[in-house]
Structure 1
Amino acid sequence: MDQITLSACAEVGFQVAGRKGAHGAMRALRRVIPLDAYEFVAFDPVTGRHTSLVSDGLTVAPAPSEPPLEAGRGPYAMEGALLASYGWRRGLTTPLRLAEGRYTGLLHLSAADFPPHAPALMAALSPTLAHVTDLTRCVIDPVGLPKGFAAVAFDRAGVVRDVAGAERSRVLAEDRSMAACARDFLDSRELSRRGLWQDGNGRWREVRMLRAGVGSHGALQGAVVAERACCLPYELTGREVDVLTRVAAGDSNPQIAAALVLSVRTVTTHLEHIFAKLGCDSRTRVTTKALAEGLCRIGL
């Protein structure tokens, strides 16, 4: 591979990672392949269908029929009805797979003639260009995502998406209740939320929620949810965390007792312990401290 091709490949990766995305990447690719037109076709794993995402140079509208799914092959020549419907003379289609092997879509290219190295070059660029058509990814890296946290993102429909630059949290992705918690957060006016969460195995985790754009080009409103294992702070018990969460929500002792199926006397005893452990002498101060330090239970 010559120096010009290597430089173009590096520029393609830079553009995909930056703000200019697909169009910037294709401008870089045109330095080594004289393209007439191109089209990125995204595969939506939720519906199982393909959708035209980004294109340039089409002489007619893309064909309404489903493009051929060639996920198991490398770049191949476009031919027949699909090529004719686009108004292209000669085409090359590349299945797009991320480095871990997950299929995200197709890239159709049109040119008067393709250089001999084009199929090999497109095969090498496939893992990079696959990020353009990855509809499950959180493509806007949210400001303030803490280091050391595993994370996933949710849209309003509850679809789970990966977060760029963060380890995927399996425990969040597999817990059905977390999608509802994320939707509740999105419906609030909060820009961020933090708290404590007990997973299905009874382990406590520190949780942060942040607003972010998800899906292609961050077009969907979503929430990034990040977590890491933790011990309960201030030597609080799980039941004390529940009571503290209700206090922070403004509930009275009788309301807390009814919600948690406890006696009012038991609630009062828990509150005495909470006040002592947090060093607070009023409900107002304990509420302020709980909200500031993320001591409330997520999803209660």
Structure 2
Amino acid sequence: MKSATIDHMMSATVRLDTPAAALNDQIVDQATQVTRLLREFVKSEAIALVAMDPISRTHRTLAADGYTDRTMSYVLDGFPNSCPAYAIAREKDTHSMRWRDFKRNWNLYLPDTFTAQEYLIPDGFKEGSTMCLRVADGRYIGAIHMSWSKEAHAKDEHREMTERFRPILLNICDQLRTPQLLADELAPGSYALAVSPNGFAFHLPNRSPGPHLGEHGELRRVVLEKAKSLKPQRFIWPDDAGRCHQVTITPCRGNILLITEECIRWPYNLSLREIQILHLVTSGASNPNIAEQLFVSPRTVSTHIEHILAKMGCDSRTRLAALAVSEGLLLAESPSRRSRKLAGH
């Protein structure tokens, strides 16, 4: 293997103050180099390295060659959301998985899937592979896809070589978790703040922390406390005027945390009182417990829960809780005197 080139890619780092546009160009350039090098060994007709944006939770292409635009659009969106092979590769087996490996190990005949029938086979591919990428703490950050026109071309040694490239691919994809690059992709009205491992908060170039994440903002106190866990988190926070703010804590390289905040409509048209009750339902509280904490009657709580179920399209408290967790609909803190007052009940 071309060790000098690989060592250079492995050692490539980014400065915290690198402008987002320059950083993005650097990552794309590294991705292009490494995919070209990998293809020298595996001889695939097509290759694509995609990374997961941890804020938008969508995939983006870092490098691709050999796939049509139509197929690449599907690789970014349809494949992760609908193909059973992707679910296996992401959640159950993160080796480099060829079509034949899915059949042998998981009894999944990939040529019969919608992915193959509608995209890969019409494009002339008879074999392919996917390797999902997870860093040491378990975070999924992207995937490498390859395709061949003949099944025999996807040899066992090619699979082994792909897995030897895993550290390099991880290094490239995880650079997306750099605060400047992520913050640069936020909506214009969003705010951001970075937090160092020792708890020091600092502003990012060209991105204001806004009034709530600013030095004396109430939200700043909340997120600095929650940031101590060093885990990705997503929650909502009501300001003094009763407006809803979506807050996301994203771990980045070097244990830097990116805090982002955006004022949004109340999700599912829920009221603040209903959000408080949803939070307590998700925590496992019973109706009497919720009534006691919010100083309302159990009958009022029951009525609110009926409304929440209808608005969110759920048929049980269990599904409510699952949806609230998956979509980041919980409050930053359990309902308090302040939040009860804001609810105006």
TM-score norm. by structure 1 comes to: 0.46
Normalised by the size of structure 2, how large is the TM-score? 0.40
Greater C-alpha radius of gyration: 1
